[in-house]
């Protein structure tokens, strides 16, 4: 297999890459500022949504509805994992690492269920059953 670095560099969509990175870095920096000076919940909201919505700008028009629905499912699974982390820390008094691992398990299970239900399952949005 022959790898051509110059061809790979020439095929990169530089404008898209630069815009995305500027937005993501700005959101992360602003989220860190909010976490340090105000409230961590505000930081979480600022970090997640703008980063997620950047991808809408670059999605193809013919797949935008499916992409938006998938993004909603992704945010729902992320929210369930975040609330489960809060539950494990606050009400179960689990150590931080154990809470993270359990929350990741909640996220993974949720994503698998959503995938089975909404990709080609009974509630599919792509018309396949």
| Ramachandran angles phi, psi of 119, nearest 5° | -80, -65
* CB hemisphere CA count around 78 (13 angstroms): 12
* CB hemisphere CA count around 56 (13 angstroms): 12
> Could you read off the pLDDT of 22-69 as tens digits, one per residue?
887 887 888 888 888 887 777 777 776 666 677 777 777 887 887 788
Where are the domains positioned within the chain? 12-58, 60-129
| pTM, to two decimals | 0.61
């Amino acid at each position: 297999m022959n790898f051509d670095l110059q061809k790979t560099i020439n095929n990169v969509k530089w404008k898209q890459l630069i815009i995305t990175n500027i937005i993501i870095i700005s959101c992360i920096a602003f989220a860190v500022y909010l976490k340090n000076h105000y409230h961590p919940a505000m930081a979480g909201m600022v970090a997640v949504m703008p980063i997620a919505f950047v991808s809408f700008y670059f999605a193809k028009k013919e797949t935008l509805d499916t992409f938006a629905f998938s993004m909603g499912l992704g945010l729902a699974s992320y929210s369930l994992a975040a609330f489960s982390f809060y539950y494990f820390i606050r009400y179960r008094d689990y150590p931080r690492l154990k809470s993270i691992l359990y929350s990741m398990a909640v996220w993974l299970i949720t994503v698998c269920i959503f995938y089975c239900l909404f990709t080609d399952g009974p509630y599919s949005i792509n018309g396949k059953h």
